[in-house]
Amino acid sequence: MTQLHSLGASIVLGALLVTMTLATLAAVRAGSPWVDRLRIGLSLIIGLQALTGVLLLLAGVRPHETLHLLYGAAALAILPLAGTFASEAPPRPRAWVLVGACLLLLVIAWRLASTG
């Protein structure tokens, strides 16, 4: 199960980079209705990764540092908060909010990797 969580971290990082790239392209252009779908898709991938982490925790496998749990909760919360923040915005600013959320998630992913 630990290997699955490690693989999931790589998948999340890849999905995060793809989402950030596509959201940046959408923001530079005129925006896109697909930005919300990108956010939802990335949220699902992060949620599955968090689920494997919770299953590991229930199985008695603890992270190296307890802060890992806090960073995991923050990673789960960022995209829904960004979606709520930008819900009334036009497509282009909404895409920029997603880019910012992805940048913040990159920092959190780095911290998750260093505390896990």
pLDDT of 45-58, one tens digit each?
A: 999 999 999 999 99
Positive or negative, the CA dihedral 29, 31, 37, 42 is positive
- pLDDT for 30 beyond 90: no
Per-residue pLDDT band for 2 (boundaries 50, 70, 90) equals confident
> 39 is in which domain, residue-wise?
2-115
Q: How far is the C-alpha of 114 from the C-alpha of 10, rounded, in Å?
A: 14
- pLDDT for 1 beyond 90: no
- pLDDT for 32 beyond 90: no
Q: In this predicted structure, what is the pLDDT of residue 8?
A: 93
Q: How far is the C-alpha of 111 from the C-alpha of 60, rounded, in Å?
A: 22
Task: Say how many domains are in the chain.
Answer: 1
